[in-house]
Structure 1
Amino acid sequence: MARHGIAESVIRDNGPHYSSEQRPRKKTVQTAKRILYTAKAKNKDPYLSLLEYRNTPVGNLKSPAQLLMSRRLRSILPATAKQLQSQVTCQQTVRERREVCQHRQQAYYNRSARPLPHLPVGAPIRFWQEDGSWKPAMVTRPADTDRSYRIKTREGQTCRRNR
């Protein structure tokens, strides 16, 4: 906007506001904020809280510190000298375990996921406006991609919406 000036209208690609690739990053930031907030509320050292988080194993994988540095980090929790020694982790093994977890999650999700029935032309629908309200409209035709339709509002405006 600053380089090319202010646009009169902006046309979206009708995709989601945030891609699904950003969800893990946003969740990580949310977790870090919660750790820092809790440490501040309890008058604890936030760095120790983050250290313990990094030292905590995730699921059936190793902790982030073990994946990054191949060893556990020394913290206020007691640990033997053997536990603090380096243990090289095969990245292929970590990748395979992560893929197994992802396939298991996918199988659980797909157990109940079903495709939506197609909407006929002329079907009355409601669509979400960016002002936070639902507006009535009618399906005029299917769009180019699956689950996407061209709709016409009561004001006569036509737009594309995903189901």
Structure 2
Amino acid sequence: MSRTSAASLITQLKSMSARHGNPNVFVSDNGPPFTSAEVSAWLQEQGTTQRTSSPLYPQGNGLVERAVQTLKHLLVRGGDPYVALQSYRASPLAHGFSPAELLMGRRIQTRLPMSADVRRPHLVDRTAFAAKDASLKSRQASDFNSRHRALDAPPLVPGIPVFVPDRKEPGIVTAEHSTRSLIVETPSGSVLRRNRSALIVDPPAGPANAVDNGEPASPVQRPSPATPDPERSGRVTRSGRAVHTPIRFR
């Protein structure tokens, strides 16, 4: 696309809808063309539900990001772009089916010899495909979590105070969004939508958490960041200084 205006985007969407039909759900990032009133109105006319990924969280639109990366590699290394696309669409993926086979129900003919029986149209076993695809995704998620030592973060419910790093200000979770993100309201009056990974839990301290026993509530004392905590972190730097866990992660 030479232009990324809303009108140009709608023209491309019309072309794809004419070829494959209207989609049930349209998922995109929060780019200006996708969030424009013109595109939203056109999708509503087609009976399509629009969903956007969490702001400042490219992983939420990872399927498209990975597809763009694959196509860039094909165009850079493949020479003729159409021959590269044909080879990619005809090559079986990890689950045993090629992209063309999943889309059209048949193998496409390439320069490689292929018998007529292989090219005969057939229905793909969707049950076996879904099971194999779910197994591959589960293994990828397990490998990623193990490699990055990822842990499940505790859920955030409305009313929990948090810190928004990109805005450098605190906020309060007010609601959950449909795209696995949260609505946060800041003291300045801004209403933000952020992914759970983009928020830092800020444990409240003070009279709000004190037990009402008839006595004046005293603020909760937090440990000083400079106080050594050998039980929580026994690590040291190369120079011999102790490594202390930040208070917000304790």
Could you state the TM-score of these two structures normalised by the residue count of structure 2?
0.38
Question: Distance in 2 between the 1:49 and 1:34 partners?
Answer: 10
CA contact (8 A) 1:143 1:149 kept: no
Report the AA paired with residue 31 of structure 1.
T
What does residue 104 of structure 2 align with? 69
Structure 1 unaligned segments of length 5 or more: list them.
4-14, 117-126, 131-136, 151-161
The counterpart of 1:81, out of the listed 109, 116, 125, is 116
Structure 1 counterpart SS, 2:116: coil
Report the AA paired with residue 84 of structure 2.
S
The counterpart of 1:113, out of the listed 139, 150, 169, is 150
Could you state the TM-score of these two structures normalised by the residue count of structure 1?
0.55
Give 1:57 deviation, angstroms.
Answer: 1.3
Structure having the higher Rg: 2
Give 1:143 deviation, angstroms.
Answer: 6.2
Give 1:113 deviation, angstroms.
Answer: 2.8
Gap change, CA 1:107 and 1:31, over 3 Å in 2: closer
Report the AA paired with residue 28 of structure 1.
A
Q: Say whether residues 1:103 and 2:143 are aligned partners.
A: no
Q: Say whether residues 1:32 and 2:71 are aligned partners.
A: yes
Question: Distance in 2 between the 1:114 and 1:75 partners?
Answer: 45
Give 1:109 deviation, angstroms.
Answer: 3.5
Percent same amino acid at aligned positions?
25
Structure 1 counterpart SS, 2:118: coil
Gap change, CA 1:82 and 1:34, over 3 Å in 2: same
Structure 2 counterpart SS, 1:83: helix
CA contact (8 A) 2:92 2:99 kept: yes
Give 1:129 deviation, angstroms.
Answer: 6.7
Q: Say whether residues 1:57 and 2:92 are aligned partners.
A: yes
Gap change, CA 1:35 and 1:105, over 3 Å in 2: closer
Superposition RMSD on alpha carbons, in Å? 3.8
Q: Say whether residues 1:17 and 2:56 are aligned partners.
A: yes
Structure 2 counterpart SS, 1:37: helix
Give 1:16 deviation, angstroms.
Answer: 4.9
Question: Distance in 2 between the 1:83 and 1:104 partners?
Answer: 30
CA contact (8 A) 1:55 1:72 kept: yes
Gap change, CA 1:106 and 1:45, over 3 Å in 2: closer
Report the AA paired with residue 74 of structure 2.
I
CA displacement, residues 64-92 of structure 1 (integer Å, 9 cap, x when unaligned): 01111121110111212222112310223
Question: Distance in 2 between the 1:70 and 1:79 partners?
Answer: 16
Q: Residues 120-135 of structure 1: matches in 2 within 5 Å?
A: none
The counterpart of 1:45, out of the listed 57, 80, 83, is 80
